[in-house]
Amino acid sequence: MSNNSKKPGAAIAIYLVVVFVILYAPILYLAYYSFNSGGSMHSFEGFTLEWYGEVFQDTRLVIILLNTLAIALFSAAISTMIGALGAIAITHVKSKQFRSALLTLNNVLIVSPDVIIGASFLILFAAMGLKLGFTSVLVSHIAFSVPIVVLMVLPKLQEMSPTLIYAARDLGATRWDVLSRVIVPYISPGIFAGFFMALTYSLDDFAVTFFVTGDGFSTLSVEIYSRARQGISLTINALSTLIFLVTLVLAVGYYAINTRTIVLGRSARTGRPARVEAGE
């Protein structure tokens, strides 16, 4: 029995290792050659940070990096506010059919191909006479980030007991007090999760941005694509490695915040110290 039970566990472990190797091997391969002094991806001749230096010495690239960060931060912040309020509004809809319809419409934007979304926004902006650039990219990123935030916030709202709101109202709290002092603090883990997801989606997006960028404005994903078409340069490797590291830091940061919130929540409910809860 014990030998038979170990075999499925070992098979699952091997399967997961193979999957992660397939997923991360191209990234590690790219990062490995970003330190190659030979200037190519054929043979590693020696360690160097030259290509990383070129990334920061390239004025155009630095400007594009700042553009990308600005778009990501603004779109994540705005979409988080809109998405959180949208999720709260959806939970207050009394009709189950209407609520399901709203959730379906929300999910359609998530499952829709990025090419369709990008082309749709391009046609919309052209019909409105809106000049392609910072504004068009920002609006597009907000649009595809809002549904993600809604999905991140909704589970926390569904976990929340209505008695908390009733108790706050019985104590004389206004609607603003209930929203700002009861609902928002309770769903803050979902809000943080939505913000980080929107931020990473914005940083990584290429297809939608490719359609709606213009007037000399560009983001890192579009710039990397343009440079890759001109020929292999290890500067692209260095830039891609930096983007991956930033995304990794954001993911680890979200995980740490979420874990800390869960531990504090458990300790508050059980009355046990957070260190004991974390030890469990």
- pLDDT, tens digit, 9 for 90 and up, residues 49-71: 888 888 888 888 888 888 988 99
The reported pLDDT for the residue numbered 157 is: 86
The reported pLDDT for the residue numbered 183 is: 85
pLDDT exceeds cutoff 70 at 235:
yes
**To 10 degrees, what angle do helices 59-91 and 50-57 make?**
80
101 and 168 Cβ atoms separated by less than 8 Å: no
Nearest to 186 by CA among 161, 151, 167: 161
Angstrom distance (rounded) from CA 125 to CA 157: 35
CA angle 90, 146, 123 (to 5 degrees): 120
- For domain 59-279, the CATH architecture is Orthogonal Bundle (1.10)
Can you give the pTM of this predicted structure?
Answer: 0.76
Angstrom distance (rounded) from CA 159 to CA 35: 48
Provide the mean pLDDT of the chain. 82
Distance of CA 103 to the CA centre of its chain: 20
pLDDT exceeds cutoff 50 at 260:
yes
The reported pLDDT for the residue numbered 142 is: 93
pLDDT in tens, 69-112: 899 999 999 999 999 999 988 888 888 888 888 888 888 888 88
Q: Is 277 helix (H, G, I), strand (E, B) or coil?
A: helix
Instruction: Report the residue count for the chain.
Output: 280
CA angle 65, 67, 69 (to 5 degrees): 70
